Copies of this chain bind each other. A is one copy, B any other.
Amino acid sequence: MRGLSVALVAPLSDADATVQSMEDASPAKWHLAHTTWFFETFVLRDFVAGYHRFDERFPFLFNSYYEAEGKRHSRARRGMVTRPTLDEVLAYRAHVDAGIVAALPRLPHEARELVRLGCHHEEQHQELLLTDILHLMSENPLEPAVWPGARKVPVEMPGPVGWIEHGGGVVEIGHDDPHFAFDSEGPRHKSLLTPHAIADRTVTNGEWAAFIADGGYAEPRHWLSDGWAWVKAEGITAPLYWEQHDGVWTRFGLDGRRAIDPAAPVTHVSLYEADAYATWAGARLPTEFEWEAAAASHDADGGNQLDTAGPVEPRPSLGGPAFFGDVWEWTGSAFRPYPGFRAIEGAVGEYNGKFMSGQFVLRGGSCATPRGHARASYRNFFYPHQRWQFTGVRLAKDL
């Protein structure tokens, strides 16, 4: 797991790894160091007697948002930290890795659980690493490719959406098996669904182009009020990274700028766009409970997910219903606690609970999600205007 993070930054220069392209994103170097700080702080500092920090000044720089862990550098100024260099951060990683490896045999259960949490935490940052570096490169007028792109084999177009029907009734939602899960995925509880149908695939680039061509971004009736205000204020006319050149829609990706693939899932759309599309299409977004009920019987480790460093992107899905990989799917559910949810005591308890206002749940995992990280119960969450993640849309409708 730790090796993948290093592999992901292999194509980056020290400068690439240092710059912060917007407040939502963090420098690659910061991701590498912050995930390391997590292990150093909650495992080595707390459970290994006599451990000396690699650098006493790093906690101030690399704490993200744990109020209980003291003062920290302003999120908006993370890109000012040209030093330590990328090489020094990699040395920091090696130092902490060696410390963990040496300590592991003797760590108590509680600490081993924190190591496990640290691994899942770092997997989340691996996805952010990819999306943040993509955003940075998109801000460079030269639009550099991070990796060369694979040659595209022309593919068959996916057929029309099929609808998976559900007759309603009580379902079990949330995590309950012995494997790892984040606190917000539980407690497992019953939820009552109404009769509905959910699409067997996500919306494609080609379908999205039709939405644009039909004036989708110009007709307020499709949009949530906040979404319409966002469209007007930001001048939104297409998904993030899309540009029209000589009548052809292109997108920017980790392999540079290319024509969109009409067969592939649309991505880099906000909840506002997802909701407007669904309204235009005479449908709606699924709730996170409908989604989980439908996805529970599918293989969470299947589909297009992150295996090795490279120019990941959503790919056309042609082999029947798939619920994992390619794009995170916006649901119509606000990110709120499940019945009986209670934040863990202590600093680690700041993990998810305090973000439970203003954000929407996304489900399923994307092409940038490390394979093995996704679960049917997994709840990702972002604000409704955010779209620099690999976010997409699955439709649902009432029966």
Find chain B residues with CB under 8 A from A284 CB: 337
Cβ contacts A346-389/B at 8 Å (1 or 0 each): 00001000111110100000000000000000000000100000
Among A15, A18, A84, A223, the one with the most B-chain Cβ atoms within 10 Å of its Cβ is A15
- Please measure, in the bound complex, the distance between the C-alpha atom of A224 and the C-alpha atom of B16, giving whole angstroms: 33
In chain B, what residue has the closest Cβ to A73?
B141
* Identical subunits present: 4
Check if B224 sits within 8 Å of A83, measured CB to CB: no
Q: A140-B83, A142-B81, A332-B336 in contact; A355/B398 too (CB < 8 A)?
A: no
Check if B192 sits within 8 Å of A192, measured CB to CB: yes
In chain B, what residue has the closest Cβ to A80?
B139
Determine whether A119 belongs to the interface, using a CB cutoff of 8 Å to chain B: no
Check if B192 sits within 8 Å of A190, measured CB to CB: yes
Q: Which of A57-65, A207-215, A234-242, A293-301 contacts B (4 or more CB under 8 A)?
A: A57-65
Q: A80-B136, A82-B19, A340-B194 in contact; A65/B225 too (CB < 8 A)?
A: yes
Check if B357 sits within 8 Å of A139, measured CB to CB: no
In chain B, what residue has the closest Cβ to A55?
B142
Check if A77 sits within 8 Å of B139, measured CB to CB: yes
Partner of A61, one of B17, B141, B271, B384: B141
Check if A80 sits within 8 Å of B354, measured CB to CB: no
Check if A19 sits within 8 Å of B80, measured CB to CB: yes
A71 to chain B, nearest CB (A): 10
Cβ contacts A141-181/B at 8 Å (1 or 0 each): 11010000000000000000000000000100000000000
Determine whether A334 belongs to the interface, using a CB cutoff of 8 Å to chain B: yes
Find chain B residues with CB under 8 A from A192 CB: 170, 190-192
Q: A79-B19, A357-B271 in contact; A339/B14 too (CB < 8 A)?
A: no
Check if B194 sits within 8 Å of A82, measured CB to CB: no
Q: A141-B57, A340-B398 in contact; A21/B80 too (CB < 8 A)?
A: yes
Q: Which 6 A-B pairs have the closest CB atoms?
A: A334-B334, A15-B18, A80-B139, A194-B339, A67-B220, A192-B192
- Chain A residues within CB distance 8 Å of chain B: 13-19, 21, 57, 60-61, 65, 67-68, 73, 77, 79-86, 136, 139-142, 144, 170, 189-192, 194, 196, 220-221, 223-228, 271-272, 275, 284, 332-334, 336-337, 339-340, 350, 354-358, 360, 384, 398
Q: Please list 17 pairs of residues, one from A and one from B, whose beta carbons are closer than 8 Å in the complex, sorted by A's number.
A: A13-B83, A15-B17, A15-B18, A15-B83, A16-B83, A19-B79, A77-B139, A81-B141, A82-B136, A170-B192, A190-B194, A192-B192, A196-B339, A224-B354, A228-B354, A333-B336, A358-B358
For the complex with contacts A228-B354, A339-B398, 8 further pairs of A-B residues with Cβ separation under 8 Å are A13-B85, A19-B79, A80-B136, A194-B340, A196-B339, A333-B336, A357-B360, A358-B384
